[in-house]
């Protein structure tokens, strides 16, 4: 299906130009693995970013430094320093929960960020919680208003200290997404996706729907059995594409797409990208080099007009699929474009292990689009790319 596309595609058809702005210090390939000291301009393994409007503000999860960095306006220059920091006393400190205990303005391995109405939500993964601000922070260490996954802002045990999850607990939540009053959380360590049908108003409020598990008290990989259209292994990011729910299932090396938004527990998806069927889950479909229809640990996903764009993380590339007349036509289909590699068959970091460039990627974890601007969390290069 759609095999002819692999020969005729312009590899840069999703974003024809290189990154317009690069945030994070310019570094050589030899320095990439060296932890960078925190500052207003440096990042260490940023896994997510969110541009809240085409003119800003921009918030970035500087994951390795255990902090959030904020820019009041859309940056206009390379390596532009951040205006705000949340999670550390200043721009020059790091450490989980600022080397102290959890609070309303601390984080430990922050990942996904999303706009929630007038506010902001952050997946605070290693505190096993989601932090919510009712209004977008406009100052350093502005305290969160609401916490999910924990009963309060000071606790941070996975599943609130229990070996068994519940509708109000989390274990390594890596993804968060908001749409028209609904909140979606990738509860990654519990191998499930949680949905709140109405936006939470109380700390620790339980979710209404679970996907990936038969009910709220199970957490086994792939539901304790073989992979299916309902199961998950390592869900990570979430979006809606033409009102169809899309979830990256990184552990099964696939992207799951539902027909609409599920309203029942454990509802099966309609389509997977990256695999030939619902039962096959090998990275790159069991071969070393990728193709236009295979994936290796896809972590990020978002939409841009008619495009679905996937951060194919371990292949250091973005893949884009254009909308079809029916989502069912996407099953096993080849992507329509690639960014970060010179062909669909390449997978090396920074295109043949070269130095980072405006067109190269190295373990890109996140992709988020706002209007005509895409923000890419190029984690392996310790930077964030802003593409137009």
- Which is nearest to 183 in space by CA: 76, 297, 191, 173? 173
Query: pLDDT-derived band of residue 17, with 50, 70 and 90 as boundaries?
Result: confident
What domain range includes position 148? 5-387
Q: Give the CATH number for residue 96.
A: 2.120.10.30
pLDDT at residue 299 above 50?
yes
Phi/psi for 183 (5° steps) reads -120, 135
Q: What is the pLDDT of residues 131-141, one digit of tens each?
A: 999 999 999 99
Query: pLDDT-derived band of residue 197, with 50, 70 and 90 as boundaries?
Result: very high
pLDDT at residue 4 above 90?
no
Res 194: pLDDT: 99
Query: pLDDT-derived band of residue 352, with 50, 70 and 90 as boundaries?
Result: confident
For the segment 52-81, the average pLDDT, to the nearest whole number, is 98
pLDDT at residue 96 above 90?
yes
Res 36: pLDDT: 85
pLDDT at residue 19 above 60?
yes
Strand order in the sheet with 182-187: 173-179, 182-187, 192-196, 209-211
Distance CA 10, CA 323 (A): 17
For the segment 58-83, the average pLDDT, to the nearest whole number, is 98
Res 276: pLDDT: 95
Res 26: pLDDT: 66
Q: Does the predicted model carry a pTM greater than 0.75?
A: yes
Distance CA 368, CA 161 (A): 33
Distance CA 194, CA 292 (A): 30
CA-to-CA dists, residue 49 to 10, 85, 224, 368, 382, angstroms: 27, 14, 33, 7, 13
- At residue 263, the 3 state secondary structure works out as coil
Res 29: pLDDT: 53
When the pLDDT of each residue in the chain is averaged and rounded to a whole number, the result is 94
Least confident of 28-32, 125-129, 156-160, 291-295: 28-32
For the segment 161-171, the average pLDDT, to the nearest whole number, is 97
Q: What is the pLDDT of residues 228-248, one digit of tens each?
A: 999 999 999 999 999 999 999
Strand order in the sheet with 337-339: 298-304, 307-312, 317-322, 337-339
How many structural domains does the chain have?
1
Tokens 């390795």, residue located: 64
Query: pLDDT-derived band of residue 331, with 50, 70 and 90 as boundaries?
Result: very high
Res 3: pLDDT: 31
């Amino acid at each position: 299906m759609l095999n002819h596309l692999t020969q005729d595609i312009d590899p840069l058809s999703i974003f024809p130009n290189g990154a317009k702005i690069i945030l994070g210090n310019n570094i050589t390939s030899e320095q990439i693995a060296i932890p960078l000291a925190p500052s207003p301009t440096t990042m260490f393994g940023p896994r997510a970013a969110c541009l809240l409007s085409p003119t800003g503000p921009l918030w970035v999860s500087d994951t390795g430094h255990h902090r959030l960095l904020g820019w009041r306006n859309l940056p206009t220059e390379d390596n532009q320093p951040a205006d705000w920091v949340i999670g550390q006393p200043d721009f020059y400190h790091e450490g989980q929960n600022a080397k102290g205990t959890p609070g309303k303005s601390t984080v430990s391995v922050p990942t996904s960020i999303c706009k929630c109405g007038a506010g902001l939500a952050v997946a605070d993964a290693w505190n096993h919680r989601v932090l919510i601000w009712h209004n977008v922070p406009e100052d350093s260490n502005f305290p969160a208003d609401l916490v999910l996954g924990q009963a309060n802002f000071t606790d941070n045990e996975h599943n609130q200290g229990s070996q068994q999850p519940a509708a109000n607990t989390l274990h390594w939540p890596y993804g968060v997404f908001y749409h028209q009053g609904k909140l979606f959380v990738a509860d990654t360590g519990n191998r499930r996706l949680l949905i709140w049908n109405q936006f939470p108003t109380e700390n620790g409020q339980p979710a209404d729907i679970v996907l990936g598990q038969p009910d709220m008290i199970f957490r086994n990989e792939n539901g304790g059995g073989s992979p299916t259209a309902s199961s998950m292994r390592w869900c990570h990011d979430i979006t809606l594409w033409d009102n169809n729910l899309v979830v990256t299932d990184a552990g099964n090396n696939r992207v799951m797409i539902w027909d609409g938004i599920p309203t029942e527990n454990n509802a099966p998806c309609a389509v997977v990208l990256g695999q030939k069927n619902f039962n096959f889950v090998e990275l790159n479909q069991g071969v070393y080099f990728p193709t236009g229809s295979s994936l290796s640990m896809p972590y990020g996903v978002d939409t841009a007009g008619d495009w679905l764009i996937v951060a194919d993380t371990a292949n250091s590339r973005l893949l884009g699929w254009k909308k079809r007349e029916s989502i069912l036509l996407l099953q096993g289909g080849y992507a329509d474009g690639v960014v970060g590699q010179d062909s669909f068959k390449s997978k090396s970091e920074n295109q043949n292990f070269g130095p980072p460039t405006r067109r190269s990627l190295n373990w890109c974890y996140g992709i988020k689009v706002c209007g005509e601007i895409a923000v890419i969390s190029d984690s392996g290069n310790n930077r964030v790319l802003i593409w137009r």
